[in-house]
Structure 1
């Protein structure tokens, strides 16, 4: 299989990723104090939609729970499988997380709206991980979950 097949851009591919994501680790999630920011209200939406969200904040070292769920500091520390890693990190900060993502081996990685990192996406795709870039998971979830 060509690694490019794992770079998901088609509606059908995005729908498959969305519908296959029952357990989502949110890398770069914010806390309830940042309620107006997408890195909190997107995962909050997912929880309300019945998705299991696993918070992986990058900052807030004293926080132990977000959205009532225990936080993990690294993806590899999360017990069990993860269907999707939803990434809220600036493009220049993504490389620091690639090894952790590769070690966790989720089925897919989602770079939120405005986030693109073609080099990291290719690395993940070559490892067999599907990658969606520069799309809002909340928007796409709403679009496909009611079909």
Structure 2
């Protein structure tokens, strides 16, 4: 897939098909982008699972925090990645080992790693990179 530009229908389908989202790198700090995006996703009715090993066992926005993706006790449709781009290959490797696997890995603004994306796609996992669902959702006028 060409990750330089996404078709609006592709982004719309991803955001309407997924119901459960793991926010990797979720922060309890309201000033951090991951906190704001998590709050936005919750407000749109998604089930959101914050993942942050330093916050394990605590809560962010009323949701229990998990140390790693594999700790989440429910099936995850999408992993929203708030990590540096060089961490994306390890995230893809972690997602590949999950059963069932999430359908989508979403790299936040500036989170792009084309080799990691190619590997994920080879395993049937869709990728979105260098985008923010809290920007795309209202831009595409998706109904909650």
Of 107, 113, 116, the residue aligned with 1:111 is 107
Structure 1 runs not aligned, ≥5 long: none
Of 125, 134, 141, the residue aligned with 2:137 is 141
Tell me whether 1:22 sits opposite 2:16 in the alignment.
Answer: no
**For residues 71 and 5 of structure 2, what CA distance do their matches in structure 1 show?**
27
Q: So what's the TM-score if we normalise by structure 1? A: 0.86
**For residues 142 and 45 of structure 1, what CA distance do their matches in structure 2 show?**
11
Provide the secondary structure at the position in 2 that maps to 1:94. helix
Higher relative contact order (Cα pairs below 8 Å, separated by 6+ residues): 1
Q: So what's the TM-score if we normalise by structure 2? A: 0.88
1:97 shift after superposition: 2.1
1:94 shift after superposition: 2.1
**For residues 8 and 71 of structure 2, what CA distance do their matches in structure 1 show?**
32
Of 31, 48, 53, the residue aligned with 2:48 is 53
1:5 shift after superposition: 8.6
Look up the match of 2:120.
124
1:8 shift after superposition: 8.1
Query: How is 1:31-110 mapped onto 2 (pairs within 5 angstroms)?
Result: 31=28, 34-58=29-53, 60-61=54-55, 64-104=58-98, 105-110=101-106
CA deviations 1:59-96 (Å, max 9, x no partner) are: x2465211111111111121221111000001122223
Q: CA RMSD in A?
A: 2.2
Q: Would you say the 8 A contact 2:56–2:66 is kept in 1?
A: no
**For residues 30 and 86 of structure 1, what CA distance do their matches in structure 2 show?**
13
Structure 2 runs not aligned, ≥5 long: none
**For residues 4 and 51 of structure 2, what CA distance do their matches in structure 1 show?**
24
